[in-house]
Structure 1
Amino acid sequence: MKILVLGSGVIGVTTAFFLSEAGHEVTVIDRQDGPALETSFANAGEVSPGYSSPWAGPDIPFKALKWLMMKHGPLVLKPTLDPHMYVWLLKMLRNCTSARYALNKSRMVPIAEYSRDVMKDLRSRTNISYDQRMQGTLQLFRTQKQLDGIGGDVSVLKKTGVAYEVLDPEGCIAVEPGLANSRGKFSGGLRLPGDETGDCYMFTQQLEEIAKAAGVTFEYGVTITGIEASGGKITGVMTDAGRRSADSYVMALGSYSPIWMRKLGQSIPVYPVKGYSITVPIKDASRAPESTIMDDTYKIAITRLGDRIRVGGTAEISGYNLDLHDARRDTLVNSVSDLFPGAGDFDQMTFWAGQRPMTPDGPPIIGMSKYSNLYLNTGHGTLGWTMACGSARVLADLMSGRKPDVDASALGPQRYTA
């Protein structure tokens, strides 16, 4: 089967790779000059199945009000004239119940755990290298109240069989020695030893080369100008480089997927939530993190990527824009410099922002659209890097007429119309 994949972020490239492995003729098109140059470029670096949770939880409405008032708060809301923003926010609020949180998390953890296993198998088969580390993730709590409130998360981890450790401050320092320089600033932590880290951009670049060698065609600098549909099928994609056609199509355009789907008469509730990151060269490795630390107070991830520290966070709901704001950078600097003083060279840091494609309930959208030959792989939010390999493998199985190894029936777009 001839398949056209729209988008060359980590989702698009992994999808192309697994479709090619399944025996299909695959072409990928993207407006950028290469793979992973937008949202996949400088994310936090976590591959964290254990932290695969919906943003919409029963305590979020109250917390959101508090976060909006904080100087270094994790949430920023900038109203726009886009009505889709408010529809998305209302849908998210509807999911802020205990029952829906439990349901949505139960849909997210299996695909995330499966994805880590698929990535592990991919590494063993290809020897792909991307500054990966397999030393777990440590969620760090600055207050005893935060630490005392992890009962619900621990209960879910037990039910889903995810390994975890609850650590006191000295236990945190034992796994992350650099935290000895901020002793007294945290009360404990929740460690997930099975989580991984790595450079998503580096991974996607290397996987693209592997996919090319396997016969996948990548067309860059190609902008989509229209999508043709007739008789319940997609018949072609118009671009500034001419018309492209295939037997089947994959929509993997991240936050831009809902724009094209609305033009095709199918609304999917995906909206961009901007995240920021800084990348800081390591100045003193003895003071730097070993893996990933989640600063729970500010919802910031601090990750070791080779000789660099990647610090990512902030949920800014402000529409489709990539403006860089100094206040967001200062929040990231505040967190890492407070917990790992003297570790990085901030004079050489770089600052970046990307648009995470978020669904209001949390799980991604993987499956067939209302068109029989158009499939969706989008809406992964902050977990695109965590869920990429599993999502791609599941979609490749679905498109090849095979039963996926993990049940993905509840991840399709039909859940929004049921």
Structure 2
Amino acid sequence: MIPQEIIRRKRDGDELDAAEISSFIAALAAGQLSEGQIGAFAMAVWFKGMSRAEIVALTLAMADSGDRLQWADIDRPIADKHSTGGVGDNVSLMLAPIAAACGLAVPMISGRGLGHTGGTLDKLESIPGYMITPDVGLFHKVVKEAGCAIIGQTGTLAPADGRLYAVRDVTATVDSIPLITASILSKKLAAGLQTLVLDVKVGNGAFMADRDQAEILAQSLVEVANGAGVKTSALITDMNQPLADSAGNAVEMRNCLDFLAGRKGDTRLETVVLAFAAEMLVKSGVAVSVDEAEGMARQALSSGKAAEVFARMVSMLGGPADLIENPDRYLARAPVEKPVPAARSGWLSACDARGVGVSVIDLGGGRRHPADRIDHRVGFSELLPLGTRVDAGEPIALVHAADEAAAERAAAALAAHYRISEEKPELTPVIAGLI
């Protein structure tokens, strides 16, 4: 394999065969390619694209660049969900235990915050003692005995993706749909999944602000995953406002515990969580219809079984066994909590969701640089949903900050991220489509 020949062929718009792609990725994983060669390949793909067969070959080659997890001793369907990222999106925290309580095994490998979006791992790290990178043996044990485990990617799973992504990040090639598709799915294939449900977000708080682009990405992900042997579907969901009524880390963890306790019913968040639970159960063959599956998910919540699964997962991964019963004992609170008053009376009609995510970062709840430490205490809670009628001075949210000055800045910023109108707005559905 001569790397520059593969790069030249892709630069010229030729279709690479599976053997060429496999040899290129094997050389990448072995450290035999320069960053210049990797960057040139990524840029050639960005400009020329890839056929569906090429993307499948790239995904499989990246998945095969490291270990593949095996679940032969678990007699449940192996299923997972992945989100393209949003603000106030803590769906995974509740979805995994609900799906496990309904009979699935969920080995969920999640990520940290990226840009303005929050990360599941950062939220879990607000729990004292929780191990986000256990060894493979413990990961397997927790999935088998608790039913689910939410952890971070290990260095042995799809390592080629890690090196390719690092180069993409500094060569303006992150937003290539073939490369996004292979990056997401290679890790999922390496995790040994049988079924996968994808949450492709669209709106001003998502990486895909345009509906057409979101559908193109969703179609690519679904077709490639199915082509690689994993039964997959995708829901396109709205991200024009925070999904949960909290945005941050410990505040979203509290939101998760409230949800599992049944205190977040009739919300956009509940609609999304139950829709994904139903899709996972139907796709895995545990339920025959969406209605049956949603009923199973609601029963797992109301009976407390999902909360029990979550508690066991946390305990087995080093967290406190009584987190659900005593959250205030373990989840740190920010020293300053300040209400954000509505600037005028009217209807909350629009939100800059991306701005809300950036404001969490400004409070210290996210990273500007990879090495930054996160303040898990800070963020926003009690965010009112769009379509809510408010009076001037009424709180539309609560800021959690490290000091008074930060709270003042965040309150002013958050108020500016919302528009208040005289007429009640027409809201877009939280679930925009299924692919």
Bin for the TM-score computed over the shorter chain:
under 0.3
Work out which structure has the larger RCO, using CA pairs closer than 8 Å and 6 or more positions apart in sequence: 1
When the two structures are superposed, what TM-score results if normalisation uses the length of structure 2? 0.26
Q: Which has the higher helix share?
A: 2
